[in-house]
């Protein structure tokens, strides 16, 4: 009633509802609908919403996002030279424009609104906010200048506001990437890609200009196990092999016995290993001569090695080398374990990127959280000892797989929720206020939400700026700039 009085000069309670709830092109919603809230607008959030909206006509989904812009790691994590992967944004946009779906950006759950307040307002709350933290190596020197997490480095060239000031030093000739997954190869590829390729992508102009001045000519990608356990996929490896003006630089000793073991490998692993082996051993004399030209850059895997120390230069002002422990494997295949041999070696470098994985962080003290696994404890997406609370995506499983993996994971969580509705385990009999009460709380707390039409203003301006520069878009780098555009009247 207080909210009604505040707006009484502007009309009726219906006007208040319209002010906070309506979006252009949306149909009025039934108060008897089951109201579901999704926290996080990355792939996990949108795929969960998609499945719920398709499966049930009586479900209404509100998606809350900390930033003013949607799409999470599709916008901020996918490499700029992978535009085809970003096509999922088209289907996410259709979901956001669905009559029973609403997007609320610039709302920080756990700070602006508590999870308990969401649970009071919605029949079900699904946490899908991903993995925003960094896994640390726990070795001396990892905080030295010149050492970066892959998450922050990727966020820097992709325009994540919190990473805009990273300003990595790209003056060293050699970079070492610790980790051999797809993100590690993304970083290596961006460091070595010709500028003419990058300038046609949505990489930020600030990152593009820094890479234009980069002195990095050699990238080593380090992993603790061997070629037959490497974590990247064949697509990313093939891109490295075909990268213009680069040559592979491998250690023949790392591939001893690999060709003899190929026949026993599963087909995907076999194809990946064959390509790696070919790139390591089968360059012709002419190719080797050409690729050894001083203007060419190089990249290579270093297997059977674990970082034990990041070594500083003489005055301790920045990184000078990575000390690696040499490993041997016990066991075989995916189950093989790296065991220290006692041998150490130093790799001189001035840039280190740690790509050992993202991790989820707790969002609210009221939500169960396993700090060791960095996930919310759950059974098929149902949060332990918290009826009506669910999770999907990396928060549910840890940071594994690709977007398709997240899609299946999220669909499974949606199925669990639907099963709970059908069985009566989730009580949907009582009416819930949903976004109406949450937006009232936000208004009282001075939080200005961003709707999907507001996002489309940002999107439109980014595209127009990008078009003028010959690229798909030029991203805004600050929340303040995003909000300023979101508040303007669309021209």
| Residue range 35-72, pLDDT digits in tens | 999 999 999 999 999 999 999 999 999 999 999 999 99
The domain boundary, picked from 355, 386, 417, lies at: 355
Classify residue 480: in a domain, yes or no.
no
Asked whether residue 344 falls in the same domain as residue 244, the answer is yes
Q: What is the CATH number of the domain that holds 445?
A: 3.40.50.720
Cα separation of the two ends of the chain: 36
CB under 8 Å to 305, separation ≥6 — which residues?
222, 223, 224, 324, 325, 326, 327, 345
Apex 467 CA angle, 462 and 470, nearest 5: 125
Asked whether residue 64 falls in the same domain as residue 123, the answer is yes
- CB atoms under 10 Å from CB of 266, counted, come to 10
The domain boundary, picked from 295, 330, 355, lies at: 355
CB under 8 Å to 1, separation ≥6 — which residues?
none
Classify residue 458: in a domain, yes or no.
no
As a whole number of angstroms, the distance between CA 121 and CA 90 comes to: 30
Classify residue 230: in a domain, yes or no.
yes
Q: What is the CATH number of the domain that holds 317?
A: 3.50.50.60
Classify residue 62: in a domain, yes or no.
yes
Structure confidence at residue 169 (pLDDT): 96
Helices (H), ranges, 181-322: 182-192, 195-198, 205-212, 234-241, 258-261, 267-281, 285-291
Structure confidence at residue 335 (pLDDT): 87
Q: How far is CA 276 from CA 229, 230, 288, in A?
A: 12, 10, 16
The residues with which 126 forms a beta bridge, in sequence order, are 38, 390
Sheet holding 147-149, edge to edge: 147-149, 351-354, 174-178, 218-222, 297-302, 246-248
As a whole number of angstroms, the distance between CA 459 and CA 276 comes to: 40
Asked whether residue 282 falls in the same domain as residue 309, the answer is yes
Please choose, from the candidates 70, 64, 56, the residue with its C-alpha nearest in 3D space to the C-alpha of residue 37: 64
Asked whether residue 117 falls in the same domain as residue 144, the answer is no
CB under 8 Å to 152, separation ≥6 — which residues?
134, 163, 166
Asked whether residue 350 falls in the same domain as residue 373, the answer is no
The residues with which 378 forms a beta bridge, in sequence order, are 383
396, 375 contact by CB (below 8 A) = yes
For the chain, which residues score pLDDT lower than 50? Answer: 1-22, 284-285
**Domain residue limits at 105:** 2-10+32-132+360-450
Q: How far is CA 217 from CA 81, 96, 189, 237, in A?
A: 19, 43, 11, 18
Classify residue 491: in a domain, yes or no.
no
344, 325 contact by CB (below 8 A) = yes
339, 261 contact by CB (below 8 A) = no
Asked whether residue 142 falls in the same domain as residue 59, the answer is no
Asked whether residue 330 falls in the same domain as residue 351, the answer is yes
Maximal CA-CA distance, the chain: 83
Structure confidence at residue 397 (pLDDT): 94
Asked whether residue 209 falls in the same domain as residue 78, the answer is no
Query: Rounded to an integer, what is the distance from CA 395 to the centroid of its chain?
Result: 12
Average pLDDT, the chain: 90
Apex 327 CA angle, 321 and 329, nearest 5: 155
Helices (H), ranges, 22-87: 43-55, 72-76
Q: Virtual CA dihedral for 384, 387, 391, 397, nearest 10 degrees?
A: 20
Element (H, E) at 151: helix 150-158
Asked whether residue 184 falls in the same domain as residue 66, the answer is no
Q: How many domains does the chain have?
A: 2
Classify residue 98: in a domain, yes or no.
yes
């Amino acid at each position: 009633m207080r909210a009604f009085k505040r707006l009484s000069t502007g009309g009726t309670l219906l006007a208040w509802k319209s002010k906070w709830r309506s979006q252009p092109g949306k149909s009025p919603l039934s108060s008897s609908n089951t109201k579901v809230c999704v926290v996080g607008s990355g792939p996990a959030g949108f795929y969960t919403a998609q499945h719920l909206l398709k499966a049930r006509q009586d479900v209404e989904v509100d998606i809350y996002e900390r930033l003013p812009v949607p799409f999470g790691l599709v916008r901020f994590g996918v490499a700029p030279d992978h535009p085809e992967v970003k096509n999922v944004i088209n289907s996410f946009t259709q979901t956001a424009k669905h009559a029973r779906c609403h997007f609320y950006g610039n709302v920080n759950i756990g700070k602006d609104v508590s999870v308990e307040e969401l649970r009071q307002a919605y029949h079900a709350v699904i946490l899908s906010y991903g993995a925003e933290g960094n896994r640390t190596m726990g070795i001396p020197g990892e905080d030295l200048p010149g050492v970066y997490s892959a998450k922050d480095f990727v966020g820097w060239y992709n325009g994540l506001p919190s990473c805009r000031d990273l300003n990595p030093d790209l003056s060293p000739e050699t970079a070492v990437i610790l980790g051999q997954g797809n993100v590690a190869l993304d970083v290596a590829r961006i460091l070595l890609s010709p500028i003419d390729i990058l300038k046609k992508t949505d990489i930020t102009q600030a990152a593009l200009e820094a890479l234009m001045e980069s002195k990095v000519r050699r990238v080593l990608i380090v992993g603790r196990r061997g070629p037959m356990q490497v974590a990247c996929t064949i697509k990313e490896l093939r891109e490295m092999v075909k990268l213009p003006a680069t040559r592979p630089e491998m250690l023949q000793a790392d591939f001893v016995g690999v060709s003899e073991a190929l026949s026993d490998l599963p087909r995907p692993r076999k194809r990946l290993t064959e390509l790696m082996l070919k790139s390591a051993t089968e360059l012709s004399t002419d190719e080797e001569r050409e690729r050894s030209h001083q203007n060419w850059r190089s990249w290579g895997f270093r297997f059977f090695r674990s970082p034990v120390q990041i070594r500083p230069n003489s005055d301790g002002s920045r990184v000078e080398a990575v000390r690696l422990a040499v490993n041997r494997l016990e066991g075989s295949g995916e189950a093989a374990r790296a065991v220290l041999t006692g041998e150490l070696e130093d790799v001189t470098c001035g840039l280190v990127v740690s790509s050992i994985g993202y991790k989820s962080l707790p969002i609210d003290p009221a939500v169960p959280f396993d700090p060791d696994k960095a996930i919310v404890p759950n059974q098929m997406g149902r949060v332990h000892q918290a009826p009506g609370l669910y999770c999907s995506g990396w928060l549910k499983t840890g940071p594994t797989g690709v977007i398709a993996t997240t899609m299946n994971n999220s669909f499974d969580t949606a199925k669990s929720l639907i099963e709970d509705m059908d069985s009566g385990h989730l009580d949907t009999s009582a009416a819930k206020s949903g976004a109406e009460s949450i937006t009232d709380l936000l208004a009282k707390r001075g939080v200005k939400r961003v709707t999907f039409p507001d996002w489309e203003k940002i999107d439109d301006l980014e595209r127009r700026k990008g078009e003028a520069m010959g690229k798909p878009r030029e991203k805004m780098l600050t929340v303040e700039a995003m909000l300023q555009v979101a508040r303007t009247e669309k021209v």
